[in-house]
Amino acid sequence: MAAQSADFQTSLLASDQMQILVVEDERRMADLLERTLNEEGHQVVVSRDGREGFDIARNSPFDVIVLDVMLPGMDGMTVARRLRESKNKTPVLMLTARDSTADIVRGLDSGADDYLVKPFSIDVLLARLRAVSRRGEIPRSACLKVGNVTLDPGSRRVMRGREVLNLTPREYRLLELLMRNAGRAVSRDTILESVWGFETDVTENTVEVFVRALRLKVDTREPKMIHTVRGFGYIMRES
């Protein structure tokens, strides 16, 4: 039994192992990411040049790409855009020192699946990597649909029926998270990590405020779509 248990644990570790490409020119940050991800059991390839990173990503399979914005040779946004243009759908987690809404939207529109603003905690980095890796190779143009609510990641257009919903960037990210997990309860901690990331002054009360605001835009008619899972978080479903 002990041997079987050990084999089972080994198989679990193997199934969680990811092939990760890190494209980061700052040596200390690149070394930290490589060491941390290796300690977590992942296989890591590091590139310190945007053009080289693009060639590696285009020619070798990876589960996730960690991509800095400011890079020599080719900046991260260009790398992400060219990967999408070449039909490469590997999930991309973009690292940036810029935290303005315009910069974040520009990064997501270039083809990144998620972003993380420096400085960040390692725990948040690992959580974001798990989140984007679960998405797999989802085409950016593929619409999400729950009931009569549709979300287009390519145009960032959200509709309920024929009505266009005008969401703030934060509301959009919250709705996208719930729709990608439609039918599954999403914990408040996961929402905090995915929508607010490294921001330490955000509380569960903040989550409740944004969920309430989102409901005022999405749930203006029956059936209600966003439901509270008491003591845990929220779930999006038709009833």
Domain boundaries, the chain: 2-135, 144-236
Q: One fold for both 2-135 and 144-236? A: no
The pLDDT of residue 214 is 95
107 in Cβ contact with 94 (< 8 Å) = yes
pLDDT at 144 (0 to 100) = 86
pLDDT digits (tens, 9 = 90+) for 150-198: 998 767 889 999 999 999 888 988 998 899 888 888 888 888 877 776 5
pTM above 0.75, yes or no: no
Q: Return the DSSP state at 42.
A: -
Identify the pLDDT of residue 164: 92
pLDDT in tens, the chain (239 residues): 444 434 433 333 333 678 899 999 999 999 999 999 988 888 899 999 999 999 888 878 888 999 999 999 999 999 999 998 888 888 999 988 776 667 677 777 788 888 888 888 888 888 888 888 776 554 444 688 999 999 987 678 899 999 999 998 889 889 988 998 888 888 888 888 777 765 556 777 888 999 999 999 999 888 999 999 999 999 999 86
SS3 assignment, position 15: helix
CATH architecture for segment(s) 144-236: Orthogonal Bundle (1.10)
Task: Spell out a b/e string for 35-55, using b for 16 or more CB atoms within 10 Å of the CB, else e.
Answer: eebeebebebbbbbebbebbe
Q: How far apart are CA 117 and CA 197, in angstroms?
A: 8
Q: What class, spelled out in words, does domain 2-135 have in CATH?
A: alpha beta
